[in-house]
Amino acid sequence: MQRHIPARASRFRPDAITESIPITDEDSLYRVRTNTSVRRYNSGVALEPTRVKEVPQSGNSIVSFGFVMTVIGLLLMSLFFAIVIVSWIIPALQKWHDDNTYGFPRTTHASRDVGHGGISDFTGINLHGYLYVIEIEEGDPTKLNPHIYFLVHVSSNLTPITSITFADENNDGKLDMIVQTEDGTIFTFYNDGTQFKKQ
């Protein structure tokens, strides 16, 4: 069953307006009324300009603190790496270079006039665990009389002779030879006027 819906009356029907209100002034139909919500009243008092004060946000201080801490952390990390490089890496690289160039353990040298015909050059070496001191007098190579002094046989070929010094140990007026190894062992060779003898 179909119901008839009456037509909806419009409030803007011109016939309704013309029937209820007689038109005497045609311009009044087109006059625009000012919205009362936007009317402004001036009482004659001068208005002060509005001043806005900016308040710094707290987020800026947090960002600044984080940036400062990051910079300090980077500086400390750089300092740490610099200390590591200077203290460990550079000496290790230098030792590796010296070992490859000169061998290890390296020889120990000394020069002294010990009364064997002039100044003598002394060289201390570790030859596969056998410790030697070689004495070669300076002068004509054809007249040299080198001396080889055996110290001891050690279990490691990495134990070097660290020093060769001279002193009169037995008070006979001749310089004796004192040899020390890296492990602290000291060997004394007594001078008989032509060579050293271990006692």
Q: Angle at Cα 74 formed by Cα 73 and Cα 80, nearest 5°?
A: 90
Higher pLDDT, 185 or 62: 185
Q: How confident is the model at residue 58 (pLDDT cuts 50, 70, 90)?
A: low
pLDDT tens column, 81-126 = 999 999 999 999 998 888 777 777 778 999 999 998 889 999 999 8
What's the confidence (pLDDT) of residue 33? 57
What's the confidence (pLDDT) of residue 52? 65
User: Among 182, 176, 183, which Cα is nearest to 199's?
Assistant: 176
Amino acid (1-letter code) at residue 153: H
Both tokens assigned to 14: 């011109």
User: Among 101, 96, 98, 120, which Cα is nearest to 195's?
Assistant: 120
Spatial distance between the Cα atoms of 178 and 92, rounded to a whole number of angstroms: 30
Helix, coil or strand: residue 78: helix
pLDDT tens column, 145-187 = 899 999 999 888 788 899 999 999 999 999 999 999 988 899 9
